[in-house]
């Protein structure tokens, strides 16, 4: 996109430092731009321009699945489906937020920033059908995920690999999209469109709908994902 190349310093390699996830916390032009990398046992932080990495130990059983910036904080979902906040300064760290889920057990949650809300999108699976459901984070103690029946004039964009970025779009009718819908990159090369559109809360049959490939998705297979240019350019529109 910009052609900018940044070279972080090397960090010590060990058998437990294989990197499985990384994220740039802000555009390169931002003073709060950090590169975060995650291995089985550690979280590594590099502030652009610094000469060294900062390391913070992690619990090996809790791999980080997704990180999203929201209202100046970094929220992370781990492999145990626990919500955490990552502190970048003055000291690198991560702490769990106890959150009550007002609904069923989670299946495959995604975090999505939608306007002034942090949402968790998840699957609801029945015997022969499934749907997407959304929950809004309410940080009033005790913190809880509150179910949303409608997205109103918003549409959400998710990818099969939860490490990929998720996005929201207001008034998607401007470009031919639909409000209250979830958009997922298509898993079929024969599809007429490169994405699949499913209305929030609408149950679809598992036997015929093309989105059912998400239920058998494997981490090592290549997948399409969404890219939002403003994350790179640092613009608001």
Residues 3-58 pLDDT 10s: 778 888 987 766 557 888 898 888 787 888 899 999 888 899 999 888 999 999 88
Least confident of 57-66, 192-201, 219-228: 219-228
| 78 Cβ contact partners less than 8 Å away, ≥ 6 residues apart | 62, 63, 64, 65, 84
What are the angstrom distances between the C-alpha of 114 and each of 110, 118, 155?
12, 6, 9
Band (pLDDT 50/70/90 cuts) for residue 164 is confident
| Tokens (6 digits) for 62 | 């809790």
Distance CA 106, CA 37 (A): 26
Least confident of 15-24, 49-58, 154-163, 219-228: 219-228
Pair 230, 26: CB distance under 8 Å:
no
* Two structure tokens written together for 32: 């709060």
- Residue 113's beta-bridge partner residues? 118
- pLDDT-based confidence at 190, cuts 50/70/90? low
pTM metric for this prediction: 0.83
Quick check: 182 and 158 in contact, CB under 8 A?
yes
Region of residue 212 (left: phi > 0; alpha: psi -120 to 50; beta: else):
alpha
Q: How confident is the model at residue 97 (pLDDT cuts 50, 70, 90)?
A: very high
- 8-state DSSP, 214: G
Query: pLDDT value at position 221?
Result: 57
User: Residue 49: left if φ>0, alpha if ψ -120 to 50, beta else—which one?
Assistant: left
End-to-end alpha carbon distance in the chain = 16
Give the Cα separation of 64 and 163 in Å (integer): 9
Domains of the chain, CATH where assigned: 1-97 (2.40.10), 98-227 (no CATH)
The token duo for 57 is 């130990």
């Amino acid at each position: 996109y910009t052609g900018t190349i940044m070279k972080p310093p090397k960090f010590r390699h060990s058998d437990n430092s294989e990197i499985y996830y990384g994220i740039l916390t802000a555009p390169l032009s931002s003073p709060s731009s950090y590169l975060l990398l995650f291995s089985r046992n550690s979280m590594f932080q590099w502030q652009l321009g610094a000469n060294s990495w900062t390391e913070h130990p992690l619990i090996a059983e809790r791999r980080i699945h997704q990180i999203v910036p929201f209202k100046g904080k970094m929220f992370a979902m781990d492999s145990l489906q626990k919500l955490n906040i990552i502190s970048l300064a003055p000291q690198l760290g991560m702490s769990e937020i106890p959150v009550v889920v007002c609904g069923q057990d989670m299946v495959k949650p995604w975090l999505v920033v939608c306007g002034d809300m942090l949402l968790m999108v998840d699957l609801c699976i029945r015997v022969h059908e499934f749907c997407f459901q959304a929950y809004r984070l309410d940080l009033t103690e005790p913190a809880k995920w509150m179910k949303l029946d409608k997205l109103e004039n918003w549409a959400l964009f998710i990818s099969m690999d939860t490490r990929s970025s998720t996005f929201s779009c207001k008034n998607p009718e401007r470009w031919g999209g639909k409000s209250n819908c979830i958009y997922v990159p298509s898993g079929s090369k024969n599809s007429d469109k490169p994405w699949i559109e499913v209305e929030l809360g609408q149950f679809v049959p598992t036997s015929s709908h093309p989105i059912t490939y998400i239920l058998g998705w494997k981490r090592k297979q290549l997948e399409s994902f969404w890219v939002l240019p403003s994350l790179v350019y640092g613009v608001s529109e």
